[in-house]
Amino acid sequence: MATESFTYADFTGWLAEHKLMGARCQSCGALYAEARPMCPDCFSDDMAWEQLSGHGKLAAFTTVYIAPTAMIEAGYGRENPYVTGIVALDEGPSISGQVVGVDVKDARQVAVGMPLQATFLTRGEGDAQRTFLAFEPAD
């Protein structure tokens, strides 16, 4: 029986504590890098949060010039594009996030397969403050 909560709000709550947490199925062992109240593989609801290392490799990426509102508010857009990517984590699952610490305008700086590590970005003030998952080149 599920005793923990597995909502997106729980996931972002972990991010605020600078923890990247995945959901591990206690029945079949499958691991998901996002909030999952039920295992999509075996339909068990016996899930548990598990902290992920945050280390992985860039699997795919795109440079975003037409930014969504939240990113425009953070200063991004046509004049200041950003990179968002899919990162294949060392533990197996993949997760998306902004890729920071690279020169977006120098395409050679961003490549599929480059090692990355999770970093946590805080945007907004007061009640509107949110922590976002991002990735930066690994040391």
Per CB under 5 A, residues contacting Zn ion are 25, 27-28, 30, 39, 41-42, 44
- Angle formed at CA 101 by CA 99 and CA 103, multiple of 5 degrees: 90
d(CA 4, CA 68): 32
Residue 1 or 128 having the CB closest to Zn ion: 1
Other Cβ atoms within 10 Å of 66 Cβ, number: 10
Q: From the CB of 47, what's the least distance to Zn ion, in Å? A: 8
d(CA 139, CA 62): 22
Other Cβ atoms within 10 Å of 13 Cβ, number: 14
Q: Two tokens at 80?
A: 């200041």
Q: From the CB of 41, what's the least distance to Zn ion, in Å? A: 4
Residue 44 or 117 having the CB closest to Zn ion: 44
Residue 27 or 96 having the CB closest to Zn ion: 27
Q: From the CB of 97, what's the least distance to Zn ion, in Å? A: 25
Number of H helices, E strands in the chain: 2, 8
Q: From the CB of 26, what's the least distance to Zn ion, in Å? A: 8
Residue 33 or 133 having the CB closest to Zn ion: 33
